[in-house]
Chain A
Amino acid sequence: DVKVTQSSRYLVKRTGEKVFLECVQDMDHENMFWYRQDPGLGLRLIYFSYDVKMKEKGDIPEGYSVSREKKERFSLILESASTNQTSMYLCASSLLAGTTEAFFGQGTRLTVV
């Protein structure tokens, strides 16, 4: 079974802190994604990566950065957390070809106080 594992299920951070959300997949997938999920807005793409050290902005990249130093690991970084970044964050991975589904992690519910 494909496994996408996010490092934390729940996280509470203070405004201004630097926050790292980690995601690891074990199926050698080329594509990895970070989404945030908010009620009424669905899933919005923050960043995605199709190869090591390659990244592209999604629809809402402001306030976030990412790192992909190894194929299996994709990190989301909040340089200076703000209360409007309180949300559910979902990591996903998929094969390079566009015909296969994405596999999701269990999500990290981040609260910024």
Chain B
Amino acid sequence: AQKITQTQPGMFVQEKEAVTLDCTYDTSDQSYGLFWYKQPSSGEMIFLIYQGSYDEQNATEGRYSLNFQKARKSANLVISASQLGDSAMYFCANGPRLQGAQKLVFGQGTRLTINP
């Protein structure tokens, strides 16, 4: 069975600093995807970034990058130059790249607070 672990329930960071949110996963699938989502206090889930298990390069999307270490089963999210608007819950998720189904499993989340 898939499992996602986010070990940081909460993090506090000064504005403009970089921040790393940890995510480890456990899956028996050979081919899978890793996702990060942001959930502001308004409640909607916003997709941030995706990494495929066979992608050789780490994914980047603007200020977001994914530090993917396959051997360690780690998929940490790095936010550069943090902003006040980055304060939110962040969820890591994993899903198999199978034909016919994509069962997404989420971690417990990390609440990030950016201080001015």
Contacts and interface: CB of A to CB of B under 8 A. Distances in A.
Interface of A: 31, 33, 35, 40-45, 48, 50, 56, 58-59, 88, 90, 92, 94, 96-104, 106-107
B102 A94 contact: yes
Given A40-B9, A43-B91, A88-B43, A99 B33 contact: yes
Given A40-B9, A97-B97, A45 B35 contact: no
Contact of B108 (A40, A59, A88, A106): A40
29 contacts: A31-B102, A40-B108, A41-B108, A42-B108, A43-B91, A43-B93, A43-B106, A43-B109, A48-B101, A48-B103, A50-B100, A50-B102, A58-B103, A94-B104, A97-B102, A98-B31, A98-B33, A98-B95, A98-B96, A98-B98, A99-B50, A100-B50, A101-B35, A102-B47, A102-B93, A102-B104, A103-B47, A106-B44, A107-B44
B-side interface size class = 20 to 34
Contacts of A99: 33, 50, 52, 97
B107 A42 contact: yes
B45 interface: yes
B101 A42 contact: no
A98 B97 contact: yes
A42 B45 CA distance: 12
B98 to A, nearest CB: 6
A88 to B, nearest CB: 7
Nearest to B43: A107
Given A42-B107, A98-B31, A102-B104, 18 more contacts: A40-B9, A42-B106, A42-B109, A45-B104, A45-B106, A48-B103, A56-B101, A59-B105, A92-B104, A98-B33, A99-B50, A102-B35, A102-B47, A104-B37, A104-B45, A106-B44, A107-B43, A107-B44
A104 B103 contact: no
A101 B44 contact: no
